[in-house]
Amino acid sequence: MSPKKVTQEAAGGTAGAGSATAAGKASKGFTAEERAAMKERAQELKAEAKKADGESAVLGKIAEMEEGDRTMAERIHAIVRASAPGLTPRLWYGMPAYAKDGKVVCFFQGAQKFNTRYATLGFSDEANLDEGNMWPVSFALKELTAADEARIAALVKKAVS
């Protein structure tokens, strides 16, 4: 989705979210959480244009999280920064993310973001995780053990290789 379209949708534009149909009924469109994420993305694009500090933005967003998500996000942030210091922290749809050459490689989505039962560590198509014809790019997280942290570090290193 283009940044312009995201901005239009976030502002209640022409994307069809919540717009009336020909019969006058409102479409189901985007959830309140999805609209909030799009608004956050529009703000992120404006901040990027102003060259805002991504590290501060990510740490600020992590600080706003509820305890369980915050603890995991802090650990993942530390793991990503240690495993791939070349990645640039930034916000992406209101989530802590890490980019290479301006493109998001991985991100953390807290459970509270979309009211899910687990947090998610995700990798974009920019991540070099390919293994044959099928490989995982998203991982559900309920808590982090030392073994989980080691696996995340290995995945992040592979993603940027």
What H or E segment, with its residue span, contains residue 105?
A: strand 103-109
- 103 has a pLDDT exceeding 90: yes
Runs of H (alpha helix) within 92-135: none
pLDDT tens per residue, range 106-149: 999 999 999 999 999 999 999 999 999 999 999 999 999 999 99
The percent of residues above 70 in pLDDT, for the chain, comes to 81
Residue 51 pLDDT level (bands cut at 50, 70, 90): low
User: In this structure, what are the phi and psi dihedrals at residue 129, rounded to the nearest 5 degrees?
Assistant: -105, 5
Question: Mean per-residue pLDDT for 24-34?
Answer: 79
CA count, 13 A, side-chain hemisphere, 40: 17
Instruction: Tell me the average pLDDT of the chain.
Output: 86
pLDDT band at 46 (very low <50, low <70, confident <90, very high): confident
Of 127, 130, 140, 41, the closest CA to residue 84 belongs to 127
pLDDT of residue 25: 54
Whole-model pTM over 0.85? no
Find where tokens 């014809």 sit.
Answer: 133
* pLDDT of 104 over the 80 cut: yes
Euclidean distance between CA atoms 69 and 22, whole angstroms: 42
Specify the amino acid at residue 141: L
Report the distance separating Cα 160 and Cα 155, nearest Å.
9
pLDDT of residue 23 exceeding 80: no
Look up residue 48 and give its two tokens.
């990027």
Whole-number Å distance between alpha carbons of 120 and 14: 30
Structure confidence at residue 20 (pLDDT): 45
β-strands 119-123, 95-100 pairing: unpaired
The owner of tokens 């920064």 is: 81
